[in-house]
Chains A and B, each alone.
Chain A
Amino acid sequence: MTVSVTVPMAMNKRTLESRNVKMSARGVKVFYGENEALHGIDIDILENEVIAFIGPSGCGKSTFLRCLNRMNDTIAGARVEGQIALDGNDIYDPSLDVVLLRAQVGIVFQKPNPFPKSIYENIAYGPRLHGLARRRAELDDIVESSLRRAGLWDEVKDRLDQPGTGLSGGQQQRLCIARTIAVSPEVILMDEPCSALDPIATGKIEQLIDELSESYTIVMVTHNMQQAARVAHKTAFFHLGDLVEMGDTDDIFTNPREQRTHDYITGRFG
């Protein structure tokens, strides 16, 4: 039994181009206290590709995602070993400013978490923080273009001063994506971005991911294999803290090399 796969249109055009490695990990281990959650992950993430991390709960895929912009720093007792590089530069280098890293590698969380401020302020906060806009008009431009790219502009343009928390769940998640785009990151991490959304909102987010992959590298964690099959160019399967297999999405789903991958995608465990 296999999952039917439709390869995204955008991908076909770009497979021929040679692409640079955007982020790479070598021997990444993560410890929560004494407990080793990841046992040495090696991975290369190419520029402008959408890569999905799949695997059963507790397999370490979210943990690894959070290593990519050092969100694990905020968890007490978490420790990262090994090397993760962005454009060849070690992101765990003590001299590197984590704020700069997070401006380059943005993150969208599982549950939509807009600030309890207006829609405008939600988007404007990041650019203002990093000094990306000097004048109000520039800021207005960033807000509009970010909301347009997130496909939310037409729905909220008349109520930018309304609270972001008043939007529906799907709109809130697109607002969070717009907020991430507004600081012009190079990589966007998405931690199960659709798990709290209904199928229609999920469809919109997936379409958005496909569009965004034109200009961003997107790394997403998902529990939904169909979703990985629909939007990801590459898929990586994690199991019990190991990266079992990574490859082109259609290879993983139609012709996995490892037995564990095969068992998982055919629903034998998970």
Chain B
Amino acid sequence: MTTTNLDTVDSRRRQRLDTVQRSLKSRHARERRFQGMGLFAVITALVLVTILFASILMRGVPAFWQATLYLDVHLDPEVIQVDERPVRQAAESPAQFRERELVWLNQLGMVNWNGLIDEALKAHLPGEIESRQTRDLRALVASGERFALRDRVMENPGLIGQTISVKMLASADVDVWLKGNIDRSLADSRQQLSAQTREWADYLKEQGVIRNSFSTALFLNTDSRSSPASAGLAGAFMGSLFMMLIVIALTVPLGVASAIYLEEFAPRNRLTDLIEININNLAAVPSIVFGLLGAAIFVGYLGLPLSAPLVGGLVLTLMTLPTIIIATRAALRSIPPSIRQAALGIGASRVQTVFHHVLPLALPGILTGSILGVAQALGETAPLLLIGMNAFVANVPSSPMDQATALPVQIYLWQGNELRNFFEARTSAAIIVLLGLMLSLNAVAIWLRKKFETRW
């Protein structure tokens, strides 16, 4: 009796273990499948990101170096026939002086600067160059460089008669040709440069007259259509900077304040529920809709100027506010209620509780959310197109009311430029600059979070 009993108990136990073991097998298999899928997803994502970055870097990094001519230009007084630089006389009114100065500037402008550059180039090139080849010769140099030479003489008229060494950007076509971004086997009719110019470019490169040098133009110049080689990001950078200042100045105080009010003080009722739903919905509204809103309200109704960073900043503020409010509320909600109770329990008012205890603890989260929101605004393009920030602007804006463009919009404009094989590289270079800015913003966010977290 007892033995049979024991036997049945034992067999039941074994049965149970078998069942568990069988299910264990399929459980482990399921786990492995899931892990495998996860690993596959992560690896795919990593590979794609690597390809993206590699292609941007491979195209963009060479664009930071541009073909540059190192020339000795003789400032021939025979060619630069200008008067002495006018000096203001004691008896002269400012208007009279200005008039004389303008005459002098006009004389400088009329000088054949191209001729001087031609001479300097000819000194390095073999054989006799006829005047009908001047066109081919001038195709070597970026067209804006003659103005750089003029400005140098204008600043220092004492240079006239001397021979000065000058760094001049080669034209965009030469840059493309020398970097091999254009197929060398294409027929003449399909080349951007004449056969003669291409030959000279190769020769000068061989002679060391054309060298690759770091492209300061990319950072210091504004956009340019007549002289693509000297097109730069300075205008777009300042435009983006003004917009970011406006966005930070408006969204952070407004967003954080509304989040604190909604989370800590507002009564829970229909109205606050409605507000909450609307904020969450606004965060999901496509950004181009904010552009339409900005065009209608700020430009159309309030009459603010088109293409101004002020309007761009306001539009991006509207777009970023919900993100910051949601991030701040999440940060506030993550502070344990015991801290609030502790403060209230010793007689702190609600405002004191929030500002002395909750807010300092939530600060890392708020900062991270705000910086990520601002970084998102920095990379936003679509709404800016609708308020005219895709205009061609050849000046660095000096105030938020001036016309300007923005970094991502500049990328968009360059990508669509007709001088494709030059601007494709430029676009990638601009993307690298933008990504660099984003990464540094994110780095600041991480640094701030770490800093305030360790402060317990």
- The residues of A with any CB-CB pair to B shorter than 8 Å are 69, 71, 74, 76, 99-103, 106-109, 111, 113-117, 125-126, 129-130, 163, 165, 176, 179-180, 182-183
CB distance from B408 to the nearest CB of A (A): 40
Q: B41-49, B108-116, B130-138, B349-357: which lies at the A interface?
A: B349-357
B347 on the A face (CB < 8 A): yes
Report yes or no: B346 in contact with A111, Cβ–Cβ below 8 A: no
Interface set, chain B 329-380, CB cutoff 8 A to A: 336, 338-349, 352, 356-357, 361
In the complex, A113→B343 CA distance in Å?
10
Contacts of A113 in B (CB 8 A): 336, 338-339, 341-342
In the complex, A129→B338 CA distance in Å?
19
Contacts A129-B352, A165-B456 known; A115 to B339 CB distance under 8 Å? Answer: yes
Contacts of B357 in A (CB 8 A): 115
In the complex, A163→B456 CA distance in Å?
8
CB distance from B271 to the nearest CB of A (A): 15
**Which one, A69, A103, A115, A182, contacts B342 given CB within 8 A?**
A115
Report yes or no: B456 in contact with A116, Cβ–Cβ below 8 A: yes
CB distance from A153 to the nearest CB of B (A): 19
B25 on the A face (CB < 8 A): no
B268 on the A face (CB < 8 A): yes
Of B336, B339, B352, B456, chain A has the most CB atoms within 10 Å of the CB of B456
Report yes or no: A109 in contact with B347, Cβ–Cβ below 8 A: no
User: Which 3 residue pairs spanning A and B have beta carbons closest together?
Assistant: A113-B338, A102-B347, A103-B347
In the complex, A183→B344 CA distance in Å?
13
Report yes or no: B346 in contact with A74, Cβ–Cβ below 8 A: no
Report yes or no: A116 in contact with B361, Cβ–Cβ below 8 A: yes
**Which one, A99, A108, A114, A116, contacts B347 given CB within 8 A?**
A99
Contacts A125-B356, A165-B456 known; A114 to B342 CB distance under 8 Å? Answer: yes
CB distance from A76 to the nearest CB of B (A): 6
**Which one, B268, B338, B339, B349, contacts A76 given CB within 8 A?**
B268
Report yes or no: B346 in contact with A102, Cβ–Cβ below 8 A: yes
Of B268, B338, B344, B347, chain A has the most CB atoms within 10 Å of the CB of B347
CB distance from A69 to the nearest CB of B (A): 7
Contacts of B339 in A (CB 8 A): 113, 115-116
Report yes or no: A102 in contact with B356, Cβ–Cβ below 8 A: no
Contacts of A71 in B (CB 8 A): 341, 344-345
In the complex, A65→B268 CA distance in Å?
25
CB distance from A182 to the nearest CB of B (A): 8
Report yes or no: A74 in contact with B341, Cβ–Cβ below 8 A: yes
- The residues of B with any CB-CB pair to A shorter than 8 Å are 268, 336, 338-349, 352, 356-357, 361, 456
Contacts A125-B356, A163-B456 known; A176 to B344 CB distance under 8 Å? Answer: no
In the complex, A111→B382 CA distance in Å?
51
* Inter-chain pairs besides A114-B342, A130-B347, A180-B345, 17 sampled, C-beta below 8 Å: A71-B345, A99-B347, A99-B348, A99-B349, A100-B347, A102-B344, A102-B346, A103-B347, A111-B338, A113-B338, A115-B343, A117-B456, A125-B348, A129-B346, A129-B348, A182-B346, A183-B347
In the complex, A117→B456 CA distance in Å?
7
Contacts of B352 in A (CB 8 A): 129
**Which one, A69, A74, A102, A106, contacts B340 given CB within 8 A?**
A74
Contacts of B345 in A (CB 8 A): 69, 71, 102, 106-109, 180
Contacts of A116 in B (CB 8 A): 339, 361, 456
In the complex, A222→B251 CA distance in Å?
48
CB distance from A200 to the nearest CB of B (A): 23
Report yes or no: A125 in contact with B346, Cβ–Cβ below 8 A: yes
CB distance from B340 to the nearest CB of A (A): 7
Report yes or no: A126 in contact with B344, Cβ–Cβ below 8 A: no
In the complex, A163→B341 CA distance in Å?
19
Residue of A nearest to B345 (CB): A107
User: Can you give 12 contacting A-B residue pairs, CB < 8 Å?
Assistant: A74-B341, A100-B347, A103-B346, A106-B345, A106-B347, A113-B336, A115-B342, A117-B456, A125-B348, A129-B347, A179-B342, A183-B346
In the complex, A102→B352 CA distance in Å?
14
**Which one, B338, B340, B347, contacts A126 given CB within 8 A?**
B347
Report yes or no: A106 in contact with B342, Cβ–Cβ below 8 A: no
Contacts of A106 in B (CB 8 A): 345-347
In the complex, A22→B345 CA distance in Å?
19
Report yes or no: A179 in contact with B344, Cβ–Cβ below 8 A: no
Residue of A nearest to B357 (CB): A115
Contacts of B343 in A (CB 8 A): 115, 125
CB distance from A171 to the nearest CB of B (A): 16
